[in-house]
Amino acid sequence: MMGFCRWSCLELHALFPTVVATDHLDLDPLELAALLQTVLQCRAEASGNPDPGCAWTGDLNGVWQLHQHPACRLITEQVIQRVWGYLDATGFDLTRLELHLQRCWPVLSDWGQVVGRHHHPNAHLSAVLYLSGDGTGADGCLCLHAPSQCNELVPGLAVGHDAPIAPHHPCNQSRWTLAPKPGLLVLFPSRLDHSVEENGEAEALRVSISFDFVLTAPASGEPPEYLAPHPGHWQRCPRPEN
Ligand SMILES: [Fe+2]
């Protein structure tokens, strides 16, 4: 139930919500400093992105196993714990799942840089942990984009010039934003399009760590119809020889 509108006879039911979760991880100053030093070192040792307007993303520069770094072990454990919590809270039977951390990479955004709109087709659930920011969003908010505007009645009614629906009405939001600050963690389905606004702080480097998770069936037992069997049961198919 969503609430009442000014037409008091109408009870509004907001159906089929997408769940995005946030939490705050307590990073002590020494741990935070070690993490920042680690990701800065990763960037220094790798090549830069070809587009100067785009943030430096480790996954495009060979740094996609950051969770293996000793400095990241503790936060990785904490993030994994929250992912299990998300799955539990959204109705998954945890005993019938295996969770795999597939990829983990830093994203560093200098002044004026952005991350364009995209999603992660390689994963099921994604997480971002922020190591910087002051909670104002001046260094660039994360934007999650609505797959569709369910209450525009038919696709396209709410877009275009002079659209007749208030763009920020809670029933017709096209995006949701989150302002970074150190320790802030967000979990969201990997299918959701997301982007990062421009870092508008000349002196501030925006730093985050992204995680991609995949669900499979456990190694033992019969896998459900549409959940991938455990990778231990997969057979590698050799490429044909020329
Ligand atoms: Fe992303």
Residue 65 within any structural domain of the chain = yes
Percent of residues, the chain, with pLDDT higher than 90: 74
Cβ-proximal residues to 33 (8 Å cutoff; 6+ apart), any chain:
none
Residue 163 within any structural domain of the chain = no
pLDDT value at 88 more than 70: yes
Q: How far is the CA of 20 from the centre of ligand 1 (A)?
A: 14
Q: What angle do CA 195, 119, 125 make, to 5 degrees?
A: 110
Q: What is the pLDDT of residue 48?
A: 63
Residue 231 within any structural domain of the chain = no
pTM of the predicted model as reported, rounded to 2 decimal places: 0.92
Residue 54 within any structural domain of the chain = yes
Residue 100 within any structural domain of the chain = yes
For 15-39, write each residue's pLDDT tens digit: 888 999 999 999 999 999 999 999 9
Residue 8 within any structural domain of the chain = no
Q: How far is the CA of 49 from the centre of ligand 1 (A)?
A: 15
Q: How far is the CA of 216 from the centre of ligand 1 (A)?
A: 21
Q: What is the pLDDT of residue 149?
A: 83
CA dist., res. 28 & res. 92, Å (int): 32
For 101-149, write each residue's pLDDT tens digit: 999 999 999 999 999 999 999 999 999 999 999 999 999 999 999 998 8
Residue 104 within any structural domain of the chain = yes
CA dist., res. 212 & res. 125, Å (int): 6
Residue 120 within any structural domain of the chain = yes
Indicate the number of domains in the chain: 1
Domain that holds residue 114: 18-150+175-217
> Three-state SS for 73?
helix
Q: What's the CATH code of the domain at 146?
A: 2.60.120.620
Q: How far is the CA of 120 from the centre of ligand 1 (A)?
A: 6
